[in-house]
Each structure stands twice: as C-alpha cells, then as structure tokens.
C-alpha cells in the first residue's frame, strides 16, 4: 500500500527491491511502479536510489539506441519503458528523489518522442514536473535540445482537461471565510486537478489538507501533499495549511474563525526571507529519516487551546 508507512515492511521491501534492481530483474512496468511507490511513501535511501536509477538507465539507453521508432508494434517484446512508466519515473526523479541530470534528460527525450500518446492525466503530471524542473534546474533546462524545450513549454502552457472536485469540509472552510468577510475563490492554482481556496487580497492559498493528504493512521503529510505546498510557495503564494484533524476538532463557528485568524496572523508575521526559504525544497520534503515510520496509532494532541490560537 502506498499510504501505509510501516517501518519494518518498508525496510524489507527496500532491500529486496535494491537487489532486484541491481540484477535487472524488474520489468519496465514494475520498475516504474516501485520507484514511484517508494517516492510516494517519502522513503528515499541513497543505495536504493542508486540501484533504481542504474536499472532505469539500462532500459533508457536501450530505448534511445532504437531511436524514435522504439514504440513500434514490431518491438513490443523489447523491454523498454512505455509512456506511463516514463511519466512516473520522471515525476519521481524530479519532484522527490533528485535523479541525475543525465537520467532526466534521457527521460525527457523519450517523452518528447512519444508526446502524441500522452493522456490528459499524464500531461497534468508532466505540467507540474516541468514547472518544478525549470525552477530548480535552470542550467539543465537551458542545455536541452530545442524540440524538448518546446515540448516542455507546451506542457506548462496548455491546461489538460481533467475533472476537479471539492470536498465537503473544503466547502465548509470556504463558507467560514466568507462569513469572516474575506474574499475567496476556488481555483486550480498550481495543479489543474486540485482546487485550492485562493485569497486574492493577500495572494494566499488556504490548503485544505484532508485525509488523503496524510498517511494512514498518521498525522504525517504525504510526499504529494508536501509537493503541492512546495509548488504553491515556489510560485509566490503564502500557503496556509489546514489539516483536517485540527479542523474537525473545532466545534463552534467562533472557534473556526479564531483558528483561521490566528493562521493568517502567523503567516503575515513571516519575513520575506522566511517565505523564500519555505519555498525551497527542504530535507523534510525530499527525504525521510524514518523516525516517524512506526509511530504509535494514538494521535497527539490535535487541537490548540483558544489562548494559543489567539
């Protein structure tokens, strides 16, 4: 499961996966899923990352040797990455595990060759990946071939047609803000499938971090949830994170308003340098020391007192 961070199980799976990768025992589909699953679980071990990238490079080099026809039906028995696998691995290498520039360039080249096969959901993933890549590795982006850069630009500029939805408690949060006479908009700010609560007067986003933004039986946010905040802050927005378990403990309308006012005041008190630092990828967002992998199931104190909120 990619929402359950059980420490012993993860360590065992990591050792088994590393051996399989080092001996090239993964098929292209299983290798892509393994890389992406460990990234989703915020589990990044140096030896495992090296083994995964080495195994991926073997298949990438094989595809590049075949040229732009590597996806032809006559080559279907050749074990090279399909489009879905390429997207998963590129997203993992750029957004979570800090894959090498060489691997990223090869992945982008193959995706460029197969760009007409991409689905709207794959284009949505590539859009956020390319935005982050351009911001965090500008030198690499400048060194890419012109046709690859043009394809990346098209991913960023053209919004894919993907469905969006709003959760019940997100609507409740928006209603509370409106009662506080705060102008709000529901809009896709950095991800075409995720609607955020945007506050135009302060260029802030209230990020409603629901149950699926946290690992199971845990108050630790998922790697994808932290990536969303990272994208918002890198784009210049002030990100106000409201965890679902804190919001659910606020029983009265007054408590909810006090909570939101306090959240806004703390964000307004940040200096410009602190906001810039928050926008950069921190070690907590990209790696895990596994200290929290076997936390007790009982929750910590989830709700702040009225005095603390004030």
Q: What is the pLDDT of residues 46-78, one digit of tens each?
A: 999 999 999 999 999 999 998 888 777 555 677
Query: What pLDDT does residue 270 have?
Result: 62
Task: Report, as an integer, the average pLDDT of 97-104.
Answer: 95
Task: Quickly state the pLDDT bin for 1 (edges 50, 70, 90).
Answer: low
Q: Distance between CA 100 and CA 97 in Å, rounded? A: 9
Between helix 253-268 and helix 168-179 the angle, nearest 10°, is 80
pLDDT tens by residue, 147-157: 999 999 999 99
Residue 204 has pLDDT above 80, yes or no: yes
Q: Are 190 and 235 in contact (CB under 8 A)?
A: yes
73 vs 95, residue with greater confidence: 95
- CA dist 254 to 177, 243, 267, 305, Å? 12, 18, 20, 13
Task: Tell if the pTM clears 0.85, that is, is over it.
Answer: no
Summarised one tens digit per residue, pLDDT across range 261-276 is 888 887 666 644 554 4
Q: Could you identify the residue written with the tokens 């959760």?
A: 167
What would the mean pLDDT of 203-218 be, rounded to a whole number? 89
**Residues in the chain, overall count:** 310
pLDDT digits (tens, 9 = 90+) for 158-176: 888 888 878 888 888 899 9
In the Cβ-directed half-sphere of 303, how many Cα atoms lie within 13 Å? 14
Instruction: State pLDDT tens for residues 178-195.
Output: 999 888 999 988 888 888
The answer, yes or no, to whether residue 98 has pLDDT greater than 50, is yes
| Predicted local distance difference test score (pLDDT) of residue 306 | 35
pLDDT band, very low/low/confident/very high, at 3 (cuts 50, 70, 90): low
Residue 202 pLDDT > 70, yes or no?
yes
Task: Assess whether pLDDT exceeds 90 at residue 102.
Answer: yes
- What percentage of the chain has pLDDT greater than the value 70? 83
Q: Where are the alpha helices (DSSP H) in the chain?
A: 7-22, 28-40, 46-66, 83-92, 101-113, 120-136, 138-143, 146-157, 168-179, 223-234, 244-248, 253-268, 272-279, 283-286, 306-309
């Amino acid at each position: 499961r990619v929402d359950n961070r059980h420490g012993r199980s993860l360590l065992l799976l990591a050792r088994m996966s590393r051996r399989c990768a080092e001996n090239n025992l993964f098929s292209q589909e299983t290798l892509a899923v393994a890389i992406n699953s460990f990234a989703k679980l915020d589990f990044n071990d140096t030896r495992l990352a090296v083994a995964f990238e080495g195994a991926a490079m073997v298949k990438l080099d094989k595809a590049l040797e075949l040229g732009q026809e590597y996806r032809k039906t006559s080559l279907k028995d050749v074990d090279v990455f399909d489009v879905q696998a390429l997207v998963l691995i590129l997203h993992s290498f750029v957004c979570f595990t800090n894959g090498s520039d060489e691997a990223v360039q090869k992945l982008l080249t193959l995706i460029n060759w197969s760009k007409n096969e991409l689905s709207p959901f794959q284009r949505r993933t590539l859009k956020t990946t390319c935005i982050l890549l351009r911001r965090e590795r500008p030198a690499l982006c400048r060194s890419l071939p012109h046709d690859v850069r043009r394809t990346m630009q098209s991913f960023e500029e053209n919004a894919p047609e993907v469905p969006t939805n709003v959760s019940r408690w997100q609507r409740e949060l928006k209603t509370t803000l409106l009662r506080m006479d705060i102008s709000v908009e529901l809009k896709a700010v950095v991800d075409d499938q995720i609607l955020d609560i945007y506050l135009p007067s302060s260029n802030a986003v209230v990020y409603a971090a629901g149950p699926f933004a946290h690992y199971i039986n845990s108050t630790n946010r998922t790697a994808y949830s932290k990536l969303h905040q990272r994208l918002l802050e890198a784009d210049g927005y002030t990100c106000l994170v409201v965890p679902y378990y804190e919001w659910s403990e606020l029983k009265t309308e007054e408590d909810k308003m006090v909570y939101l006012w306090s959240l806004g005041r703390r964000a307004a008190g940040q200096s410009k340098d602190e906001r810039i630092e928050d926008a950069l990828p921190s070690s907590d967002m990209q790696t895990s020391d596994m200290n929290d992998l076997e936390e007790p199931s009982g929750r910590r104190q989830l709700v702040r007192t009225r005095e603390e909120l004030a």
